[in-house]
Amino acid sequence: MKHLLLLSSLIALHLHADESKHRIIGLSEPSREQDLREQVKTMPEVELAALNFNTAEVTFRYDVAKLIPNYNPKHPPKTEAITRHLEDLLRAASNGTFTLQPLSTLPADKLQKLEIQCGLLDCKGCRYGAYITIAKLDGVERATVNESALLTAWIDPTKTNREDLEAALKKGRVELKTP
Amino acid sequence: MIKPLAFALLACGLHAAEPTAAFFDTHCIDCHDADTHKGNLDLSALKQNFSDAENFAKWVKIHDLIESGEMPPKKKTRPPAADVSAVTRWLNTTLIKAEHLDAAGRTGVRRLTRSEYENTVRDLFDLPGIALQAGLPADGSAHGFDNNSDALDISHVNLARYIEAADKTLDMAIATRPTAPGSAIVRLSLARNYEPDIMLMQGDAILLRDKKIDPVFPPAGEYGHVNQGAHEQLGIFDRMSSVGVFRHEDESWNAYFRHFAALYPGRYRVRASFWSFQWDQGKILPSRGTEAARLSVVQFNDNGRGGQHPSYVLGYYDAPSLESKIHSLDVWLNFKESLGFNVASLAHVMLYRVGTWGQKDRTMGFTGPCIANDWVEIEGPLNDVWPPSSHTLLFGDLPLTEFKGARPPVRKLLKQEVIGAKNKPEPDKDIWTVEAKEPLAAADRLLAHFLPKAFRRPVGAEVRQQYVAQVDARLKAGDCFETAMRWVYRAALCSPDFLYHIEPADKLDDQALAARLSYFLWNSAPDAELLQHPRDFHTQVERLLKDPKSQRFIDDFLGQWLKLRAIGANDPDKKLYPEFSPYMQDSMVAETRAYFRELIEQNLDAGNLVQSDFAMLNEKLAVHYGISGVSGPAIRRVALPKDCARGGFLTQAAVLKVTANGTTTSPVVRGAFVMARLLGKPPEPPPPNIPAVEPDVQGATTIRELLDKHRADASCASCHAKIDPPGFAMESYDVIGGFRDRYRSLHEKGDPAPRGSIDPKIPISFKLGPKVDASGQFADERKFNGIADFKTMLAADKHTLLHNLAQQLVIYATGRDIAFSDRADLNDIVARTEKQGGGIRTLLHEIILSPLFQTR
């Protein structure tokens, strides 16, 4: 019960019972919005209700009765089961390039913005590769990358810092442009 | 001390009245008595014990030396011709008589060689790609060939391997499902394979679309691409882009089409699209010509991870400039086999940059040639009929039904074992097998069909009944029909009737004749038509030669006669011969094979063995030989320029490579090769206490200088006077068959070497050392100035060349050495061939018509 309450606070369910909002990892650059839209179309019984690139938040709409296999109205699935199912569908549709996370609980004014200039990231794969290296780090709430190879991350400074991010990038063989 | 030989001869059993006694006494005993015994020959002690092989061989040698005029030596008084004739005639008659008494010279009982075994199984079961040779113990060799009865022993190891081979054959031959596995067309991209992924990331390959750079994946420049997994997840390599490859395969990298690994052994159709271009730091320009792309069949080990899996080359294919060319070929793939690709005609370059090693700015900083593969398609397995003919051979038209009994035939679960391969087996839910309502009657009928085909001759009912009795025993023991039949089929494949050449004692019967003919020209069992008309010699020989299976004869014969099997015995020194490549080596072998094929097809005479006005070349060899106007990897007939010393086997790169050690050449080795393989006069083995001449690997001293010192020893001089001249002439060619007028050297004092025809991408570090002197003098004191001169002199003696080739072919065709008593027949073959113009195709016909061929 305790866990359920905690999750409920992290996942803000939409007013409509069959919508859910999540933080999403994988939106490395604006063109990835379109990728996500196309991939969600291939997810059975799910629609993309809203997508905010700036906050990296996504809202899915669905009929839970159709979404969940062997749905039993007498024993409706718990919220985390629905999230887990959505996560599985999204992974399958995107070959694992999009994943869901609980919504951020950190107030915006507590986030620290970091910019890291990389050597050259002239292809989408490289940009995504550099992005994902830091986007999954604990303490990184959101990140983006642009065609000028500038990585931008919003971090929880109590959990991580620039050095951690740069170390992770170097380990991932992403060359950094030193001033 | 001189003593009358007549006395000594009487003592050793040679009658004084025989013409040899007086002849030896007058002309030989001075040097060959007990005290002097020159050449280790003491005539006073030599007995007429012809049943002793060593003794017999000495008498043959005496006969040959007197007949050729080599003995008595020139400095001695020449014996009257009539005396020579009388002696040699008497020796000839005596030796032949002795040989016939001893019944020596007939072909001994011999089993199939490894290649004969494999080809026989392939043809019998119509499984043209089943690989069995590698599982069998290596064959020995005698008198130059492995199919010789003196070399073909058998042991328990052979038998164990024959059982394994029979099981492998039957596994593949027997249909285990009611319908054929579905045929599918799989289009593969080189991009989506583990090793090319790596190369794409770091810049040794690029993605292309519509002959332009794929904008989704720009070529690596100052920085390589990062996070291969991320690219794979985004599907960047899954878009069927063409892949341009700069990097030649090497010890650490091979390009395999890993998304497919055959599950069902069988025929497949492969289509592949290649083109080439010149890359100039980001620009795609027309290429320097038609490049060569190589396709090979790769046998994945275990789960397919890692590199360096066993493979064999399918062929080299045109990759024209900026224009895709689609090649189509039919191949056989075994379980876990796929295809590999290589940029065969490109030099080794490495664009992958690690620290300061490799190309600065990777692909974007590079200028050079590139070969692109658009895709490869594999269609199959292709089954025209089901069950396949291999199954029908074993089980006729018996129906395949679902097995319902208690003890099913053994089935191995088929699964995809190669990681990354996407093709999966079709589910086999039930066990299907042949059903026979009257099993023993069916077994009898099936064996009556199978055994004569397998044994290559009629099989009596009593033999067949023994096999049927075994089927009966197995059925009574509880085996199902398939298992019982499999048991006897395996026994048949391991029986002497299958494993051995069965030949009657004297004249060959029809079946033995057909078998000898087909094993000669096809390296395999006779087909039905040959068994039916084995004595229609001309028609059959022409038919056999026309059939693609005759390539097996060419490959097998040349592999041994000209030692082509040893082409990979050493890798040329990379500093001295940096231009050498596997593609060059394969081209060398292809040239020699194609040349021999051309000699047969055009029925050219034996002079062409050493001299011709044409060569069989592709671009790689033409450039290597300094001949212009040849483009692409296909071997074709090329007219040679008038001043070109190429033409004939002696100046073919394959022959020049197998007679060298990878670093240096030796006139002794090459001279001995020419004497033994082309002139039929193998030199005596070197005396035991004389050290070999070791070449100067630094290249400061020529081999001729070293040999001059060696020949100062009188005991060496007489043999080297015969051995060295051909080798001296061949000194004009280096260890990879390139022409040279100066030796390549690693000595620091050498002169700078010009690049010549060496690819500009290949760094050169060797220098030019001493000049080559290819002049020499035959043992009969005729002089030559160089290789061209030497070849002209050699080619003038067509008779010797033809006689030797006839001898080599007869040894190969009959599986035994030429006995002394065979010489007349051999001479007859040569004489009849010469009367008809001396063509090599004619020679093959005459060999087959001869008593040597038609008698065991």
A124 Cβ under 8 Å from any chain B Cβ: yes
Which sequence spans correspond to the domains of chain B?
5-102, 106-176+396-411+435-502, 184-382, 560-796
In this model, does residue B356 exceed pLDDT 60? no
Residue A96: list chain B partners with CB under 8 A.
Answer: 233
- Tell me the shortest Cα–Cα distance from B368 to chain A, in angstroms: 23
Nearest CA in chain B to A122: B218
Nearest CA in chain A to B227: A129
Residue A97: list chain B partners with CB under 8 A.
Answer: 230, 233-234
pLDDT in tens, B473-531: 999 999 999 999 999 999 999 999 999 999 998 899 999 999 999 999 999 999 999 99
Q: What is the mean pLDDT of residues B393-416?
A: 93
Domains and CATH numbers, chain A: 2-101 (3.30.70.100), 108-171 (3.30.70.100)
The pLDDT score that the predictor gives to residue B653 is: 98
Helices (H), B547-652: 550-561, 582-601, 619-625
CA dist., res. B268 & res. B290, Å (int): 27
Residue scoring higher pLDDT (B330 or B750): B330
Residue B229: list chain A partners with CB under 8 A.
Answer: 129
CA dist., res. B287 & res. B275, Å (int): 9
Q: Is A5 exposed, middle or buried (0-12, 13-18, 19+ CB in 10 A)?
A: exposed
Residue A123: list chain B partners with CB under 8 A.
Answer: 216-218, 225, 231, 236
In this model, does residue B632 exceed pLDDT 80? yes
- Tell me the shortest Cα–Cα distance from B231 to chain A, in angstroms: 5
B824 Cβ under 8 Å from any chain A Cβ: no
A83 Cβ under 8 Å from any chain B Cβ: no
Residues 18-77 of A with CB under 8 A from B: none
CB contact under 8 A, A132 and B227: yes
Residues 660-689 of B with CB under 8 A from A: none
The pLDDT score that the predictor gives to residue A50 is: 96
| Band (B157; pLDDT cuts 50, 70, 90) | very high
State the Cα torsion B570-B573-B576-B577 to the nearest 10°. Answer: 50
CB contact under 8 A, A172 and B221: no
CA dist., res. B667 & res. B790, Å (int): 14
Nearest CA in chain A to B221: A120
Name the token pair of B855.
């008698």
ipTM of the complex: 0.89
A81 Cβ under 8 Å from any chain B Cβ: no
Evaluate whether B610 touches B851 at the Cβ level (below 8 Å): no
B71 Cβ under 8 Å from any chain A Cβ: no
Residue B224: list chain A partners with CB under 8 A.
Answer: 173
- Tell me the shortest Cα–Cα distance from A106 to chain B, in angstroms: 28
Q: DSSP for chain A? A: -HHHHHHHHHS-B-SSTTEEEEEEE---STHHHHHHHHHHHTSTTEEEEEEETTTTEEEEEE-HHHHSTT--TTSPPPHHHHHHHHHHHHHHHHTTS-EEEPPP-S-GGG-EEEEEEBS---SHHHHHHHHHHHHTSTTEEEEEE-TT-EEEEEE-TTT--HHHHHHHHHHTTPPB---
Percentage, residues of chain B above pLDDT 90:
70
Most confident of B157-171, B350-364, B402-416: B157-171
CA dist., res. B271 & res. B761, Å (int): 30
Q: What is the mean pLDDT of residues B345-367?
A: 77
A129 Cβ under 8 Å from any chain B Cβ: yes
Residue A119: list chain B partners with CB under 8 A.
Answer: 222-223
CB contact under 8 A, B227 and A128: yes
CB contact under 8 A, A129 and B221: no
- Tell me the shortest Cα–Cα distance from B419 to chain A, in angstroms: 18
Residue B221: list chain A partners with CB under 8 A.
Answer: 120
Q: What angle do CA B311, B312, B315 make, to 5 degrees?
A: 135
Nearest to A128 among B217, B218, B230 (CB): B230
CA dist., res. B334 & res. B379, Å (int): 14
CB contact under 8 A, B226 and A129: yes
The pLDDT score that the predictor gives to residue B377 is: 98
pTM, whole model, 2 decimals?
A: 0.90
- Tell me the shortest Cα–Cα distance from B699 to chain A, in angstroms: 47
CA distance to B165, B403, B470, B473, B653, per residue, from B479 (Å): 22, 12, 11, 9, 58
In this model, does residue B8 exceed pLDDT 90? no
Nearest CA in chain B to A127: B226
Lowest mean pLDDT among A35-49, B364-378, B716-730: B716-730
pLDDT in tens, B763-819: 999 999 999 999 998 888 899 999 999 999 999 999 999 999 999 999 999 999 999
| Band (B357; pLDDT cuts 50, 70, 90) | low
Name the token pair of B215.
């904008």
| Band (B38; pLDDT cuts 50, 70, 90) | confident
The pLDDT score that the predictor gives to residue B196 is: 67
CA dist., res. B732 & res. B738, Å (int): 8
Nearest to B226 among A97, A124, A173 (CB): A173
CB contact under 8 A, A120 and B234: no
Nearest to B226 among A96, A97, A126 (CB): A126
Which of B788, B695, B710, B737 is CA-nearest to residue B588? B737
CB contact under 8 A, A120 and B236: no
- Under DSSP, is residue B218 helix (H, G, I), strand (E, B) or coil? coil
CB contact under 8 A, B227 and A122: no
Name the token pair of B23.
């002849």
CA dist., res. B620 & res. B245, Å (int): 19
Q: Give the A:B interface size as CB pairs under 8 Å.
A: 59
In this model, does residue B1 exceed pLDDT 90? no
Residue scoring higher pLDDT (B677 or B44): B677
| Band (B17; pLDDT cuts 50, 70, 90) | low
The pLDDT score that the predictor gives to residue B49 is: 80
CA dist., res. B283 & res. B831, Å (int): 65
- Tell me the shortest Cα–Cα distance from B219 to chain A, in angstroms: 9
Place of tokens 């061989």: B57
Most A CBs within 10 Å: which of B202, B213, B227, as the mutation test of the A interface? B227
CB contact under 8 A, B226 and A130: yes
Domain spanning B184-382, CATH class: mainly beta
Q: What is the CA radius of gyration of chain B?
A: 31
Q: What is the mean pLDDT of residues B739-750?
A: 90
End-to-end CA distance of chain B: 48
Nearest to B226 among A97, A124, A172 (CB): A172
CA dist., res. B218 & res. A122, Å (int): 7
- Amino acid in the structure at residue B424: K
- Under DSSP, is residue B829 helix (H, G, I), strand (E, B) or coil? helix
The pLDDT score that the predictor gives to residue A2 is: 46
Residues 196-225 of B with CB under 8 A from A: 216-218, 221-225
- The pLDDT tens digits along chain A (179 residues) read 445 444 444 444 443 458 999 999 999 999 999 999 999 999 999 999 999 999 999 999 999 999 999 999 899 999 999 999 999 999 999 999 999 999 988 998 999 999 999 988 999 999 999 999 999 999 999 999 999 999 999 999 999 999 999 999 999 989 898 76
The pLDDT score that the predictor gives to residue B700 is: 60
Nearest CA in chain A to B230: A129
